[in-house]
Structures are given as C-alpha cells and as structure tokens.
C-alpha cells in the first residue's frame, strides 16, 4: 500500500464526566485524494473523531498521523488545529461583511499576489461562483454559500479537508443537487476528504469508502456497495436502507412449494442458523411458475418512483418488496423470486 495521507491508529477518547468512551480503539487510513465518509447515528462519535484528526482535541490513547507526522492536540498551541488541515462546519462560517472574493482572498492572505490571484480564479471556477464573486454571503443561496465555504477551505491546497454534516442545514432538494456539485468540486480538488454525515444516502452516493461508527467503535468499513450489499450485522444492514432480515431456517419450509423454491432450498439448507439480508429491491415479483415464494399482499405504500409492498408469507413471516407503482393491490396473491446472487448472509 502506498503511504497514507492520514493514519488514525487505535484512538480512544472519554470526555471528562462522560460515562462510556466517545471513541474506543478506532483506526482508519486515508489515501491522498480519497473521499471517505464517516457515518453513524447521532452520538456515535463522528464529530469527536473529526476533532481528534484536526488536532482540536487530544486522544486519551492512540495517535493521529498526517503524512507520517503526529498531529498534536490543542495543548500549548497559539492557534488550534493543524496548518495542513481545513474544517468546513455546517454553518459555513463565511465572513458576513465582505464579498465571496474577499472571503477567498482572506484565506490566501499569506501568499504572494501571483499565487493568490491564480488560486482565486481557480476556486471561483471550481465552485462556479465567478458571476457571484462580489456578493455578500447573505446574498447567496444556501447551496452557493456551501460552495463558497468549500472554495475558501480548498483555496491554499490543504492536504486534508474535514467536513462535519455539511448538508444538515439545507433542505432535501438542495441536498440532492449539492451531493453531485460538491462531489465534483472535491474530485476536482485532489484533496483528501473526510465527510461526516448521519445520512446514509450522502455516504453511499459521495464516498469512495465508508466507515460506519456505532457507540464509538468502527462497526464496518468498505466501499459503498459492500456496506449496502454485504452488511455484516443487522445494525449495518438497517442503517443503510430497508432490509428483510430472515433466519434461513424460517425461510426453508416456505420454499417447498415450487421447483425453483426447492432448488433454492438445497442451496440454503447448509446455512441454517444464519440470517439472510434481502433488500426490498432484490425480491422480484414473478410468474407463479418461476417463483421461489408465494404469499399475499398486505399493504402498499407509495414512494414516488416505486411502491413498497408488505407481503405476508406463511408462518407469520412477512417481507418488504419494492415494485413498480400500481403493480400490486392489497389482498392480491404475490409470487416472488430472490434476485440472482443478490441475497446475502449476515456474518453474525
């Protein structure tokens, strides 16, 4: 492996007066230019880890290395933080009384005029803010402010950018647009990025790699596809989207009704004692003759692009299934196939 930009080695942190550890034995590595999403529910330790990485907080144990050099905590420093690391907070923190261009120039104030002018032009172009450069922050939309804050953070080519819940103050439509815009800006910058977000959709759609924290520990890390399709735990499976978690032994007797079902049962029978994770879009409505399973549609909810049906099987088992809008009505018989190689077994 090439030498990482960032190495977090077994850090732990308990706040004074806090009961359990905010972080426990957490390690992670980041390559140059990589975008890593740090996700988990509220209180899982995301912000604490970001603050340790930024040198704004000292770990109780473990070490943070940036380019092989230890990142010092805040003790004894005149200016908190690390000179090669930028943090973008959710409230942007632009200077309110000066223009976008002045905000960027301020971030470049210690450099010579040639570099300053070049980076100002490059950042305005990257953020698509050329025509808005003379406006005050309050004269920009939320998304434009977000792009301006990011341009300011990237202006002098930091090694590492940390973003803590950068979309949480923005409405959902803007959030969807910004994932693409900010993702493109970050990819164009070449900067290593840690994006903290409690929204699984942000993590899955923007990151090259995702780290899931739970109660201060790394529960699982991997590519977005791995975490969505190959969750190791029930918690990870549910965190990243709706999941039917079915004990293999409960499913087996229901597969005896058809040839396809019996074939699948022979594949699954060595796996009794394990739990299957079936995403609702991995269960497909099928003609009765080819079905693995049969049941009755109990309820249908409209989600815009699809509907989620609850299908009651025998033995009290029910499955959530995503189907085209209008495909099923409650009360109707439902025949299902498990999509080829889409089923997955939890590790525990």
Residues that bind Mg ion (CB under 5 A): 46-47
The 3-state DSSP class for residue 254 equals helix
Give CA–CA dist 156/162, Å, rounded: 15
Is residue 344 near ligand ADP by the rule CB under 6 A?
no
Three-state SS for 249?
A: helix
Residue 48, binding choice from ligand ADP, Mg ion, none, Cβ under 5 to 8 Å by partner class: ligand ADP
User: Residue 45 or residue 55: which is nearer to Mg ion going by CB?
Assistant: 45
Which parts of 48-77 interact with ligand ADP (CB under 6 A)? Answer: 48
**Of ligand ADP, Mg ion, none, which one sits near residue 302, judging by CB under 5 to 8 A according to partner kind?**
none
For ligand ADP, the closer of residues 41 and 290 by Cβ is: 41
> Minimum CB separation from Mg ion for residue 47, in Å?
3
C-beta of 58: minimal distance to ligand ADP in Å? 13
Strands 69-70 and 244-247 come out as unpaired
What residue ranges in 202-332 does DSSP mark as E strands?
A: 209-214, 217-222, 244-247, 275-278, 283-285, 293-302, 307-312, 318-323
Residue 9 to residue 251: CA distance in whole angstroms:
42
Question: Pattern of binders to ligand ADP over 8-47, x per CB under 6 A?
Answer: -------x--x---x-----------------x-xxxxxx
CA–CA separation, 160 and 53 (whole Å): 10
Q: How far is the CB of 46 from Mg ion (least distance, A)?
A: 5
Within 10 A of 99 (CB to CB), how many other CB atoms are there? 18
Write down the residue that tokens 């299908």 correspond to.
311
Which residue, 14 or 67, is less far from ligand ADP as judged by CB? 14
What, of ligand ADP, Mg ion, none, does residue 42 touch, CB below 5 to 8 Å by kind? Answer: ligand ADP
Q: Name the CA radius of gyration of the chain, rounded.
A: 25
Count Cβ atoms below 10 Å from residue 85 Cβ, excluding itself.
22
CB 257 within 8 A of CB 294: yes
Min CB(329)–ligand ADP separation in Å:
42
Residue nearest to Mg ion (CB): 47
Q: Give the nearer residue to ligand ADP in terms of CB position, either 135 or 198.
A: 198
Q: Which is nearer to ligand ADP, 43 or 81 (CB)?
A: 43
188 Cβ contact partners less than 8 Å away, ≥ 6 residues apart: 126
Q: Which does 15 bind (CB under 5 to 8 A by kind): Mg ion, ligand ADP, none?
A: ligand ADP
CB-wise, 48 or 220, nearer to Mg ion? 48
CB neighbour list of residue 132: distance below 8 Å, 6 or more residues apart: 100, 139, 140, 144
Residue 152 contacts which entry, ligand ADP, Mg ion, none (Cβ below 5-8 A, type-dependent) = none
How many residues bind ligand ADP, per CB under 6 A?
Answer: 11
Give 58 or 181: the residue with its C-beta nearer to ligand ADP: 58
CB closer to Mg ion out of 47 and 318: 47
Which one of Mg ion, ligand ADP, none is in contact with 40 (Cβ closer than 5 to 8 A by kind)? ligand ADP
Q: Where are the alpha helices (DSSP H) in 137-276?
A: 142-154, 172-189, 200-206, 224-229, 234-239, 248-251, 259-268
CB of 107 to ligand ADP, least distance (A): 26
Question: With left for phi above 0 and alpha for psi between -120 and 50, is residue 219 left, alpha or beta?
Answer: alpha
Q: Is 126 helix (H, G, I), strand (E, B) or coil?
A: helix
Least distance CB 226 / Mg ion (angstroms):
24
Is 194:36 a contact under the CB 8 Å cutoff? yes
Interaction site with ligand ADP (CB under 6 A) = 15, 18, 22, 40, 42-48
């Amino acid at each position: 492996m090439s030498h990482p930009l960032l190495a977090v080695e077994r850090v732990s942190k308990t706040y004074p007066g806090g009961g359990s550890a905010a972080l426990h034995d957490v390690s992670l590595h980041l390559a140059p230019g990589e975008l890593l999403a740090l996700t988990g529910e509220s209180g899982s330790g995301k912000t604490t880890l970001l603050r340790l990485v930024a040198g704004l907080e000292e770990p109780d144990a473990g070490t943070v290395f940036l380019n092989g050099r230890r990142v010092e905590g805040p003790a004894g420093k005149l200016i908190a933080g690390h000179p090669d690391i930028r943090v973008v907070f959710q409230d942007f923190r632009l200077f309110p009384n000066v223009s976008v261009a002045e905000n960027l120039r301020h971030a470049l104030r210690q450099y010579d005029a040639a570099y300053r002018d070049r980076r100002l032009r490059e950042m305005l172009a990257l953020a698509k803010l050329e025509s808005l450069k003379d406006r005050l922050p309050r004269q920009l939309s939320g998304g434009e402010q977000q792009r301006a804050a990011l341009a300011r953070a990237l202006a002098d080519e930091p090694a590492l950018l940390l973003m803590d819940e950068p979309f949480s103050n923005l409405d959902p439509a803007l959030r969807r647009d910004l994932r693409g815009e900010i993702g493109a800006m970050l990819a164009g910058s070449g900067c290593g990025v840690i994006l903290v977000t409690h929204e699984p959709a942000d993590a899955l759609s923007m990151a090259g790699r995702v780290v899931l924290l739970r109660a201060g520990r790394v529960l699982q890390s991997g590519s977005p596809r791995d975490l969505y399709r190959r969750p190791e735990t029930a918690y990870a499976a549910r965190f990243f989207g709706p999941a039917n978690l079915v004990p293999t032994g409960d499913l087996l007797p229901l597969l005896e009704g058809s040839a396809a079902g019996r074939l699948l049962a022979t594949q699954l029978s060595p796996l009794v004692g394990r739990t299957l994770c079936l995403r609702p879009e991995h269960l497909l409505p099928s003609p009765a003759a080819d079905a693995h399973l049969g049941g009755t549609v109990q309820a249908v909810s409209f989600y815009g692009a699809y509907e989620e049906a609850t299908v009651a099987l025998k033995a009290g088992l029910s499955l959530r299934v995503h189907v085209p809008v209008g495909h099923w009505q409650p009360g109707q018989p439902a025949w299902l196939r498990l999509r080829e190689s889409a089923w997955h077994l939890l590790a525990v």
